[in-house]
């Protein structure tokens, strides 16, 4: 069997954990599997490197940032190989360049385009375990680029897809995908399986247990994907096509605190205003999430939208540059907001979901600032201080009472 095993930062945080993971890898190797391992940087290394950079320059170029951050993963793979060497397991570590992981040029947020697996296959055929740096690729210039925070999951799934691996295992610090972040949701419970579509929505809405692009790729290439713990032998969660979350209306609740709200007050109420604004934001690569527009009055209206906090500076300069074309009166920017969402394929065919959702926010006494819905999700924007409380209230409402409104 050809196996891709990915271990996240906490799973390789120190020497003991590395040795523990090496033991796990050895067991798979000894039972006759071909094994490719993908690693993240140890513990808080990526955050520490970011802090280090900011001590020197508050606004470093993305290229140099990627150059720096990519070193975290390189440390992990070398250390893991050393642990395997000590256990007499033949192995080799490869960075993105050596592994020929080709990606787009977008520093700090690149996408994997292709992988030339020749070297990798040669190493596997020579009987070695291959340990690959997650989170990074090389662009057309040959520069190292990173794949966005949490991107090692995507490296693992891309390798599994390209190698047509039998299984891609994502080892992390929880037993699997839960109905909500177990650090926030008190009564969260583990799911045995979840569909690619629900997981994709879940990951995009803030469930950081899987990088959203990894799920996109897994769906596209039908990768057998499982999320499980590196610290226990508990069965994980299988992510697959058409999985049914047993008789549950929703598969879970997600909280995203990496959100900012921008309101543009008093823009011209005429055709083309939204186009001018959002195309300027798009030019600056700012992704806009929830959009709310007020009813026009006296030729003026307000437009509010949410973006990632890291995009605020770019958004503000885009808004400034479009000022004379949309004639706004003022701009208001709110940082301490959060998005709380529910996800579930069962929602599309069940009346009463929205009522139950807002009953929960009402009884929790939480004020809702913005709402956005799709076939399989409802998202609201709330004050950050209310987010965890609201998420628990919504979670418990659905887990405990949802059966009441099933047909």
Residues 25-64 close enough to bind ligand ADP by CB under 6 A: 40
Question: What's the closest the beta carbon of residue 115 comes to Mg ion, in angstroms?
Answer: 20
Q: Could you say whether residue 206 binds ligand ASP (CB under 6 A)?
A: no
Angle between helices 312-321 and 273-283 (to 10 degrees): 130
Binding-site member from 89, 92, 110, 209 for ligand ADP (CB under 6 A) = 209
Contact of 21 with 230, CB cutoff 8 Å? yes
**135 contact, one of ligand ASP, ligand ADP, Mg ion, none, CB 5-8 Å limit per kind:** ligand ASP
Q: Which residues contact 179 (CB under 8 A, 6 or more apart)?
A: 185, 188, 189, 190, 191, 248, 250, 251, 252, 253, 395, 399
What six digits make up the tokens of 338? 């959060």
Q: Could you say whether residue 180 binds ligand ADP (CB under 6 A)?
A: yes
Instruction: Residue 339: name the closest of 289, 393, 282 by CA.
Output: 289
**134 contact, one of ligand ASP, ligand ADP, Mg ion, none, CB 5-8 Å limit per kind:** ligand ASP
Instruction: Residue 79: name the closest of 160, 17, 135, 36 by CA.
Output: 17
Determine whether 1 is exposed, middle or buried from the number of CB atoms within 10 Å of its CB (0-12, 13-18, 19+): exposed
Q: Could you say whether residue 107 binds ligand ASP (CB under 6 A)?
A: no
Annotate each residue in 10-39 with x if it binds ligand ASP (CB under 6 A) or - if it does not, as one string.
Answer: ------------------------------
- In eight-state DSSP terms, residue 88 is T
- Alpha-carbon span 131 to 261, nearest angstrom: 41
Segment contacting Mg ion by CB under 5 A, of 6-14, 113-121, 161-169, 267-275 = 6-14
Instruction: Report in angstroms the alpha-carbon separations of 405 from 134, 196, 279, 342.
Output: 44, 25, 42, 16
Instruction: Report in angstroms the alpha-carbon separations of 92 from 64, 122, 132, 209.
Output: 27, 11, 9, 27
Annotate each residue in 111-150 with x if it binds Mg ion (CB under 5 A) or - if it does not, as one string.
Answer: ---------------------------------------x
Question: What's the closest the beta carbon of residue 396 comes to ligand ASP, in angstroms?
Answer: 30
Residues 94-153 close enough to bind ligand ADP by CB under 6 A: 150
What are the E-state strand segments in 269-329? 291-293, 300-307
Q: Could you say whether residue 40 binds ligand ASP (CB under 6 A)?
A: yes
Contact of 121 with 157, CB cutoff 8 Å? no
Residue tagged 């999320």 (tokens): 227
Q: Could you say whether residue 236 binds ligand ASP (CB under 6 A)?
A: no
Residues 238-257 close enough to bind ligand ASP by CB under 6 A: none
Annotate each residue in 45-84 with x if it binds ligand ASP (CB under 6 A) or - if it does not, as one string.
Answer: -x-------------------------x------------
Segment contacting ligand ADP by CB under 6 A, of 5-13, 110-118, 334-342, 374-382 = 5-13
Q: Could you say whether residue 8 binds ligand ASP (CB under 6 A)?
A: yes
Binding site for ligand ADP (CB under 6 A): 8-11, 40, 150, 172-174, 177-178, 180-183, 207-209, 252
């Amino acid at each position: 069997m050809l196996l891709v095993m990915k271990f996240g930062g906490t799973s390789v945080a120190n020497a003991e954990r590395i040795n523990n993971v090496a033991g796990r890898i050895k067991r798979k190797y000894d039972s006759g599997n071909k094994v490719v391992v993908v690693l993240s940087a140890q513990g808080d290394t990526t955050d520490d490197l970011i802090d280090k950079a900011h001590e020197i320059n508050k606004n470093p170029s993305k290229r140099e940032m990627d150059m720096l951050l990519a070193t975290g993963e390189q440390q992990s793979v070398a250390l893991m190989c050393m642990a395997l060497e000590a256990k007499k397991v033949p192995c080799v570590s490869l960075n993105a360049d050596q592994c020929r992981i080709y990606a787009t040029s977008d520093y700090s947020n690149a996408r994997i385009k292709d992988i030339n697996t020749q070297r990798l296959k040669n190493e596997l055929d020579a009987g070695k375990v291959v340990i690959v740096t997650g989170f990074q690729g090389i662009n057309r210039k040959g520069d190292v680029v990173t794949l966005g925070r949490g991107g090692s999951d995507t490296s693992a799934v891309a390798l599994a897809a390209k190698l047509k691996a039998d299984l891609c295992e994502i080892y992390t610090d929880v037993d699997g995908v839960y109905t909500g972040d177990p650090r926030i949701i008190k009564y969260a419970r583990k799911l045995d399986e979840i569909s690619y579509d629900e997981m994709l929505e879940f990951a995009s809405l803030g469930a950081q247990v899987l990088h959203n692009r990894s799920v996109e790729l897994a769906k596209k290439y039908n990768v057998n994907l499982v999320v499980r713990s590196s610290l226990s032998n508990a069965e994980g969660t299988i992510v697959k096509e058409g999985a049914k979350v047993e008789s549950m209306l929703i598969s879970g609740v997600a909280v995203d605190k990496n959100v900012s709200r921008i309101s543009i007050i008093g823009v011209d109420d005429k055709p083309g205003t939204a186009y001018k604004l959002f195309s300027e934001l798009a030019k600056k690569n700012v992704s806009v999430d929830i959009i709310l527009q007020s009813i026009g009055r006296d030729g003026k209206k307000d437009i509010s939208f949410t973006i990632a906090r890291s995009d605020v500076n770019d958004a503000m300069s885009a808004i400034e540059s479009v000022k004379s074309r949309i004639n706004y009166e003022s701009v208001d920017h709110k940082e301490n907001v959060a998005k709380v969402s529910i996800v579930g394929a069962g929602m599309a065919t069940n009346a009463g979901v929205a009522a139950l959702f807002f009953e929960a926010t009402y009884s929790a006494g939480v004020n809702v600032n913005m709402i956005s819905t799709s076939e399989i999700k409802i998202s609201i924007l709330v004050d950050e201080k209310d987010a965890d409380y609201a998420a628990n209230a919504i979670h418990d409402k659905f887990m405990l009472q949802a059966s009441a409104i099933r047909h």
